[in-house]
Amino acid sequence: MKNEYELLDSGNGKKLERFGDVVLDRPCAQAVWMPQRPDLWETATARFDRVGGHNWEGRGKLPNAWNIEIGGVAMKLSATDFGHLGVFPETRGLWEWIRSTLKTETGKKGREPRFLNLFAYSGGATLAAAQSGAHCCHLDASKGMVDWARENAKLNNLQDAPIRWIVDDVIKFLRREVKRGNQYDAVLLDPPSFGRGKKGELYKIEESLMTTLDLVHQVLTGDPSFVLLTSHTPGFSPIVLSNLLRQYNEGGAVECGEMLLTGPSDVNDLPNGNWARWINK
């Protein structure tokens, strides 16, 4: 499977990554060790830091947008003012798991599974699910991000795939889905530490996540496949995420781990967030 991303090095609070032909030097607080390949850092196309604000050095050397394939999904990238690019590479292993699991579920159920992606960002997981043949619902509170995800769908020739594109507040949407009786076989959610809904609704993970998970439980089918919960919030460790999933989903099995940025075998893996998943075994 083609992959145009790799972690080249990390250390001294930074990470050096390659996205296709573009090499970027960006902050990473958990990279507390010394760099392993100091000679490579001068090859950076551009650098981003948060010293005194949000600052790009060499942003003019970057294309306005460029495309790469990562985890089997083509993605449009673009440097934002906050240092983001439109993809979180640490999630690519989860995309591959979603694609494979939903493809297997199609064979078991004899129909296409229904997949719900909440806080869905630029659509990598949605498109991986769509590649498996699943019917997808992609929801994000940002219209700009949903538009970006639809562009990514076109890059993958999935513009006509059965995907519902929703701009809405997650909790309000889920409450309406409960009332409508709409159900899903599999759910992914990546709640932010702090966010705003479509109409400015406040989302704080410590206060809103349990309500969200309860509503997710209510929209699952009677024989669901999985619920996958990811987080970049400090303190929400794999065990914390696992405990939350167990609270709302009986039976089955719970697996958990860290999301990792990876590169060549001689480069330290870089943890960047955590995941847990409940699987209906």
CATH label of the domain that carries residue 41: 2.60.40.1180
Measure Cα distances from 103 to 81, 115, 134, 180 in Å.
37, 12, 8, 27
Separation between Cα atoms, residue 140 and residue 120, nearest integer Å: 5
Pick from 21, 44, 77: which residue ends a domain? 77
Pick from 77, 108, 126: which residue ends a domain? 77
Where in the sequence is the domain holding 273, given as residue range(s)? 89-279
> Across the chain, how many H-helices and E-strands are there?
6, 16
Same-domain check for residues 125 and 155: yes
Separation between Cα atoms, residue 122 and residue 117, nearest integer Å: 11
Inter-residue contact 279 to 251 (CB < 8 Å): no
Report which of 206, 226, 198, 211 is spatially closest to residue 171, judged by C-alpha positions: 211
Report which of 214, 219, 158, 162 is spatially closest to residue 185, judged by C-alpha positions: 219
Same-domain check for residues 70 and 99: no
Residue 244 belongs to some domain of the structure: yes
CATH number at residue 228: 3.40.50.150
Q: Which residues of the chain have pLDDT under 50?
A: none
Residue 194: the pLDDT is 65
pTM of the model: 0.93
Burial degree of 29 (CB within 10 A; 0-12, 13-18, 19+): exposed
Residue 196: the pLDDT is 65
Residues 197-228: tens digit of each pLDDT: 666 677 788 889 999 999 999 999 999 999 99
Residue 67 belongs to some domain of the structure: yes
Residue 52: the pLDDT is 76
Residue 145 belongs to some domain of the structure: yes
Residue 243: the pLDDT is 96
Same-domain check for residues 139 and 70: no
For 97, half-sphere exposure in the C-beta direction (CA atoms, 13 angstrom radius) is 17
Edge-to-edge strands of the sheet including 14-19? 5-11, 14-19, 22-27, 46-49, 55-57
Residue 204: the pLDDT is 80
Number of domains in the chain: 2
Separation between Cα atoms, residue 182 and residue 46, nearest integer Å: 46
Separation between Cα atoms, residue 85 and residue 121, nearest integer Å: 11
Same-domain check for residues 151 and 119: yes
